[in-house]
Every structure is written in structure tokens, then in C-alpha cells.
Amino acid sequence: MVRSCDKACVGILALLSSVLVTSQLATASDGEDVVVSLFNGRNLEGWKSEGKAHWEVQDGLLIGRQGENNSPGDLLTEAAYANFDLIVEFRVTWPANSGVWYRYQSADQSYQADILEYKNPVAWTGTLYCTGKMFIAINKDPELVHRDSWNTLRIRADGNHHVVWLNGTEVANVRDDTSARGRIGFQIHAGDEFAKMQIAVKKVELRAL
């Protein structure tokens, strides 16, 4: 009787193990909940600098600032992405005019979740910019921005549907067809008024949709 029970238990465990492995393989193959870190915390592998802004890695953080003579520039992924859920954790030295590029094909075809304090029209970090169209969604609440600490931008791009959250609050929800696929990156704007600007990034994580 004991031996029969042992055999039955072994059979049940084997079946459960098989089901678990099959389930894990199915999840992995479906690509569900697979989060990819685009910044490794050590170097700029997988990224390409365009323009004259200065980019480096310090103490596990991605640091960006203006180049010589307040020159601008971008740091962009080498790979392009279409539909995704992106999370970026950053902090800024103000005043600043920066942002997170996505679906970047060129300076004339891309989107940017802005990191700024804009005066006309009034717009704060989390505002969604589209090249050729200016702002297509505006964050009008300055209280959502953590000026002296870390912020989290979440960008979800699915087809022509764009949603942006700043520190957990939705600040943009629009539909636009300007760009369907492109690179992800960061911008450093020109101008001597932003001479002290520095953006520090500690997390860039993407989940494909």
C-alpha cells in the first residue's frame, strides 16, 4: 500500500512539474512580462551619441549635460522599438530642457516625453511633444514633479495610442500616427540658460507589447 502511494505521489509530482515547465515556456515564448533593461549601469553599450552633448556613466548612473559652448545633443538606442511599455527613473538639475525620445526616426519624426518648465504655453515635465506638431498633450500640474529627487516617467506606446504617467499620475492620453517605430533616447537642449542642466538616469526598462 505504501509502495502504491509512493508511485502515485511520484506520478503526480512528475505531472505537476511537466505542467509548470510547459507554462513557463509558454509565457517566455509569448513574450509576456519580459522586462529588458536598456541601460546596464556600467557603460553606454547599446547607445549612440548624436550631437555634441556630453554623456557618461558615473556611479551606476547615466549622466547627460551640455557640450562645449552650451551645445545640444541626443543619446539614442542602437535598436528601434515599436509597441512597448517603458519606465525611466531620472532626476534633474534645474533649469532644464530635456526629455525622453521614443519612436525616434529623425529630428523630424519622433515623440518626446518632456522634462522641462515651459512658459508659453505653460507646460511641465510629462508633457508629450511630437516633432512638427509641438505639444500634443500638456501636463499643467507642477506639483507632480519632484524637483529635488527622483522621478518616474512611464510611457506606453501601442499602435497610435500614447499614454504617459509622471510619478504614477496620468499626464497624457492621446492618439497620433506620426511615428510607428523608432529608437529610444534622451535629449540635452541648447541654450546658455540651461548651462547648469544635468540629467541623471538610473533605470531604463522596456516591456514589449
Domain with residue 43: its CATH number is: 2.60.120.560
pTM: 0.84
Do residues 83 and 18 share a domain?
no
**Do 96 and 25 reside in the same domain of the chain?**
no
The number of distinct structural domains making up the chain is 2
**pLDDT over threshold 80, residue 188:** yes
Please report the pLDDT score of residue 162 as a whole number.
99
Residues 77, 98: one domain? yes
Q: Are residues 44 and 143 in the same domain?
A: yes
Summarised one tens digit per residue, pLDDT across range 85-120 is 999 999 999 999 999 999 999 989 999 999 999 999
Residues 96 and 173 in one domain: yes
Domain that holds residue 186: 35-208
Say if residue 156 is in the same domain as residue 185.
yes
Predicted pLDDT at 135: 98
Whether residues 7 and 101 fall in one domain: no
Three-state SS letters, the chain: CHHHHHHHHHHHHHHHHHHHHHHHHHHHHHCCCCEEECCCCCCCCCEEEEECCEEEEECCEEEEECCHHHCCEEEEEEEEECCEEEEEEEEEECCCEEEEEEEEEECCEEEEEEEEEEECCEEEEEEEEECCCEEEEEECCHHHCCCCCCEEEEEEEECCEEEEEECCEEEEEEECCCCCCEEEEEEECCCHHHCCCEEEEEEEEEEEC
Domain identity same for 20 and 90: no
Residue 107 or residue 155, greater confidence: 155
Q: For residues 115-129, give the mean pLDDT.
A: 97
Residues 13 and 51 in one domain: no
pLDDT at residue 28 greater than cutoff 50 = no
Instruction: Identify the residue with better confidence: 16 or 160.
Output: 160
- Residue 32's pLDDT is 62
Evaluate if residue 200 carries a pLDDT over 60. Answer: yes
Is the pLDDT confidence value at 20 over 90?
no
Q: Mark whether 22 and 40 lie in a shared domain.
A: no
Q: In terms of domains, do 59 and 119 share one? A: yes
Share the mean pLDDT of the chain.
Answer: 90
Does residue 176 share a domain with residue 114?
Answer: yes
